[in-house]
Structure 1
């Protein structure tokens, strides 16, 4: 999986096509959730953080939804503390209404 990540994801999360970037982020959320021992760390979470600033609304929306899936898992909260402290403010400041609403829902999950 790490070879796949380095060989594909690291290059495609910045692809010119927003659909590819969105698919990468959606899949990364699934990887983080299904294999937290290998993927739920700052080395991988940083890609979600960077994608919160993507120029396309659809990509940011996939990112916020991937994060929602992680924050729903109570056992992940400790591993997400550094990420939360770095990116919490940018989550709620989105210019797109749909992304902003989902970001507020994410922040509510974080506060629980």
Structure 2
């Protein structure tokens, strides 16, 4: 049922016209990744977080970084996040919004631990 919801709703709404819907989708994806890593903590789902790091709206990027913080706090997830980290770390540090930049610094501190 969760996979059907992911494919039927999330895959279409993560790029919705409204930034509030995109941010809500990313927030929920972060929860799914954390609570059901066997089904969702994979490159197929993580790519949506990577893509939203480049969203035009800073609230969406901020929610993405917060979702990533939740994942990087879990030490057992670090190995599964290595490809994501190597691919998207540079794009994280380039954010121009001060609120997002602060959260990115906090995220990078989690990654470095």
TM over 0.5: yes
What is the deviation of 1:28?
A: 0.1
What is the rounded CA distance, in whole Å, between the counterparts of 2:37 and 2:88 in structure 1? Answer: 20
Instruction: Spell out, residue by residue over 1:35-63, the C-alpha distance to the aligned partner (whole angstroms, 9 max, x if none).
Output: 00000000000000000000000000000
**TM-score after normalising by structure 2:** 0.98
1:82: which partner in 2? 83
Which residue does 1:64 correspond to in 2? 65
What residue number does 1:103 align with? 104
Give the structure-1-normalised TM-score. 0.99
**Structure 2: gaps of 5 or more residues:** none
Deviation per residue, 1:54-96 (Å, 9 max, x gap): 0000000000000000000000000000000000011111010
Count of residues in correspondence between the two structures: 112
Aligned position for 1:48: 49
2:92 aligned with 1:91: yes
Provide the secondary structure at the position in 2 that maps to 1:100.
Answer: helix
How far off is 1:32 after superposition?
0.1
Aligned CA RMSD, in angstroms, stands at: 0.3
SS at match of 2:59: helix
Structure 1 residue ranges (4+ consecutive) displaced by more than 6 angstroms after TM superposition: none
